[in-house]
């Protein structure tokens, strides 16, 4: 097996995930049997593997880039924030209540063995690993509990590349400072510095890279331009607060612990559609539709809607006949009640009452990929929810097998990824009085990955 390639960042959002996906596709296109790996991820953007296990959305995308089946070994630990000081811990694809309740620094002894096992297993099945770190390896306060950055680098003796987001400014200070915070044996693993998201004239960099190499002995191996792309982000969220006349305007209501926001990327890129992010109370009457996304804590999200007045805004929009769509946690909020006897989230709460549904949070989470026929066309998506929902009144089945319900202009579904299907996108815009050309999002993602790989092969260092 070749030495693993590891991408570390000076900061969060330095571009590690995107560059890891690019590296995976470049190597896969060269015929290399490659797989991604990230020991521990923190994100409420999750995906479900074919065998029904949860991993971070970034590693799922990187597996697609590598042209291999997404596998829980690629992200053995996933942290999903559901309160200011609490995250649900997913271990090997399954929520672990015992570890979730433990203090941060006490987890390493339990989690590290899972990380090592996943690494060993992947290395036996693949010729090359592309490993992504998390945050920054220079966070001294977190070093004792590290299972994702230098601990993995040392375990695998990977070729490490340190990435800085030059668009933020201060890149050379970030690179030098991060390098200086590492132990000598860790510094010895760094093979190159990478400037990422560069815009402007490269000549303006002058001799800064030579200066940095004189200080550290490490070359700057690439200056990656800012890439425009339609690939999902790990945590960043595409959205604007702009209303565009002449287009279908969708109000996407954002509340605390909103989850799986990447599933709305197809809407953001759909011709003739404008998505406006709504965070504060306002009338929604001018919008064509309102969407309530998933949530890692539906009770806390509902409390936010009530406290800000947005709850009444959504009710008013529904009463005006606007299409209101709730997905997963959004579905639960549209219902009458959510019961939380095990205190998995924020306790019991009353919903908006727009759908005659009652949900109880179960200890075991439902996680599965879903494939079925809808309107005589194939539909795919995935479920991730603790909620078990029952009808309490007259309501129509919208999707099969308790995946969704409809009462007039209000629809709630448990299916994530619905907009990635052209048939669902067509249904959605048709409900709003438009017939727009739609595309299968899965095909678009594959085209985008090849485009990204082509750019990276030109600008990168592999």
Catalytic site residue 328?
Answer: yes
Residues 6+ apart with CB under 8 A from 268: 238, 239, 275
Name all contacts of 396-403 with Cβ < 8 Å and 24+ positions apart. Answer: 399/372, 399/374, 400/372, 400/374, 401/372, 403/370
Which residue carries 């048939």 as its tokens?
423
**Number of neighbours of residue 112 by Cβ within 10 angstroms:** 18
Cα–Cα–Cα angle for 187, 188, 194, rounded to 5 degrees: 65
Report yes or no: 339 and 347 within 8 Å, Cβ to Cβ: no
| H or E element in which residue 17 lies | helix 16-29
> Measuring CA to CA, which residue among 363, 440, 356, 336 is closest to residue 406?
356
Query: What is the residue-wise DSSP string for 364-398?
Result: EEEEEEEEEEETTEEEEEEEEEEEEEEE-S--EEE
Cα 173 from Cα 179, distance rounded (Å): 10
Output the CA torsion sign for 410, 404, 48, 381.
Answer: negative
Tell me the β-bridge partners of 416: 382
For residue 107, give both structure tokens.
């987890």
CA 414 from chain centre, in angstroms, equals: 17
* Active-site hit among 10, 114, 328, 386: 328
> Measuring CA to CA, which residue among 155, 139, 145 is closest to residue 110?
145
- Helix, strand counts (H, E) of the chain: 14, 25
Catalytic site residue 10?
Answer: no
Catalytic residue numbers read 328, 416
């Amino acid at each position: 097996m070749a030495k693993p390639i590891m991408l570390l960042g000076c900061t969060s959002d330095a571009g590690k995930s995107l560059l890891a996906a690019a590296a995976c596709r470049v190597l896969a296109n060269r015929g290399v049997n490659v797989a991604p790996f990230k020991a521990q991820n923190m994100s409420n953007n999750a995906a479900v593997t074919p065998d029904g296990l949860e991993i971070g959305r970034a590693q799922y995308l990187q597996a697609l880039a590598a042209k291999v089946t997404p596998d829980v070994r690629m992200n053995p630990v996933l942290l999903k924030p559901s309160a200011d000081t609490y995250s649900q811990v997913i271990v090997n694809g399954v929520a672990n209540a015992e570890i979730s309740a433990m203090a941060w620094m006490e987890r390493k002894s339990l989690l590290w063995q899972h990380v090592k096992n996943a690494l060993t297993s992947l290395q036996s099945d693949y010729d090359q690993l592309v490993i992504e770190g998390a945050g920054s390896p220079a966070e001294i306060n977190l070093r004792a509990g590290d299972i994702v950055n230098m601990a993995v680098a040392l375990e695998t003796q990977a070729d490490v590349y340190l990435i800085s987001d030059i668009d933020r400014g201060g890149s050379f200070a970030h690179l030098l400072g991060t390098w200086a915070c590492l132990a000598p044996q860790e510094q010895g693993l760094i093979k190159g510095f990478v400037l990422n998201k560069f815009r402007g004239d490269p000549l303006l960099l002058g001799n800064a890279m030579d200066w940095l190499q004189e200080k550290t002995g490490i070359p700057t191996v690439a200056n990656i331009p800012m890439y425009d792309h339609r690939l999902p982000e790990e945590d960043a969220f595409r959205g604007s607060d702009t209303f565009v006349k002449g287009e279908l305007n969708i109000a996407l209501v954002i509340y605390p612990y909103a989850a799986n926001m990447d599933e709305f990327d197809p809407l953001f890129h759909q011709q003739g559609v404008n998505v406006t992010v709504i965070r504060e109370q306002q009338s929604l009457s001018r919008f064509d539709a309102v969407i309530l996304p998933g949530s890692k804590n539906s009770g806390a999200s509902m409390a936010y809607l009530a406290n800000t007045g947005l709850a009444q805004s959504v009710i008013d929009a529904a009463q005006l006949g606007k299409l209101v769509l709730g997905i997963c946690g959004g579905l639960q909020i549209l219902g009458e009640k959510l019961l939380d006897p095990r205190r998995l989230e924020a306790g019991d709460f009353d919903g908006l009452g727009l759908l005659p549904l009652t949900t109880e949070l179960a200890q075991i989470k439902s996680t599965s990929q879903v494939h079925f026929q809808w309107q005589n066309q194939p539909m795919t998506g995935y479920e991730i929810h603790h909620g078990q929902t029952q009808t309490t009144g007259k309501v129509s089945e919208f999707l099969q097998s308790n995946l969704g319900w409809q009462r007039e202009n209000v629809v709630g579904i448990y299916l994530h990824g619905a907009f990635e299907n052209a048939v669902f996108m067509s249904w959605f815009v048709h409900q709003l009085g438009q017939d727009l050309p739609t595309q299968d999002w899965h095909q678009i993602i594959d085209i985008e990955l090849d485009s990204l790989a082509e750019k990276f092969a030109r600008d990168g260092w592999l």
